[in-house]
Amino acid sequence: MTDAESIAVELAKEYGLKAVRFISTPKFQTVTSAALELMTAAEVLDGVFEGGGLNGLFNPYGGIISRIEKLVAESAFSRQLSEDAAERADWAARGRAASRGETLAELVARGEIYPDEAEEAIDGEFAEAEFRAIAVDALRGRLR
């Protein structure tokens, strides 16, 4: 049984519907496939169940499909926000590395520290090689 089919069976059990109606509906297959690309089957079911009962709906099958569509949209939006936050954090870290390299270059230029001390400070401050390289490039670029 596929994940989409197991979701259909669980939804049918919970709401007293027919799993075959879900499984044979192309729209259900489409939205469930999209949902499963972003989350697990359990997360899809939990999200649908959080919506509560289906009382008052003329078409309960359509109501469930709409809930899954909403879950997909919310999950995609949440994922995009997370990716954007990670990218901002990465660029901020790059900026800090470059700024630190420039600050150390100024100290070297004023004779307050030696160039090798500046590079040692960079090695001690930045665990990731990429950020160390950015800081060293900034340091050396300002010393030229």
User: Where residue 117 falls among pLDDT bands split at 50, 70, 90?
Assistant: very high
DSSP 55: T
Per-residue pLDDT of 3-28, as tens digits, reads: 999 999 999 999 999 999 999 999 99
Per-residue pLDDT of 59-102, as tens digits, reads: 999 999 999 999 999 999 999 999 999 999 999 999 999 999 99
pLDDT at 124: 93
> Count of CB atoms within 10 A of residue 14's CB?
14
Please report where in the chains the tokens 């001390």 appear, as a residue: 117
**134 has pLDDT over 80:** yes
HSE value, Cβ hemisphere, 13 Å, CA-based, for 4? 20
pLDDT at 53: 84
pLDDT at 1: 84
Compute the C-alpha angle 137/128/144, nearest 5°: 10
Per-residue pLDDT of 35-55, as tens digits, reads: 999 999 999 999 999 988 888
For the question of whether the overall pTM of this predicted structure is more than 0.95, the answer is no
Percent helix, strand and coil across the chain, each to the nearest 5: 80, 0, 20
CA distances to 10, 34, 96, 127 from 140, in Å: 63, 49, 16, 19
**143 has pLDDT over 80:** no
- Kindly give the interhelix angle for 26-38 and 3-15, rounded to the nearest 10 degrees: 110
Domain extent listing, the chain: 3-82, 83-143
User: Where residue 34 falls among pLDDT bands split at 50, 70, 90?
Assistant: very high
DSSP 111: T
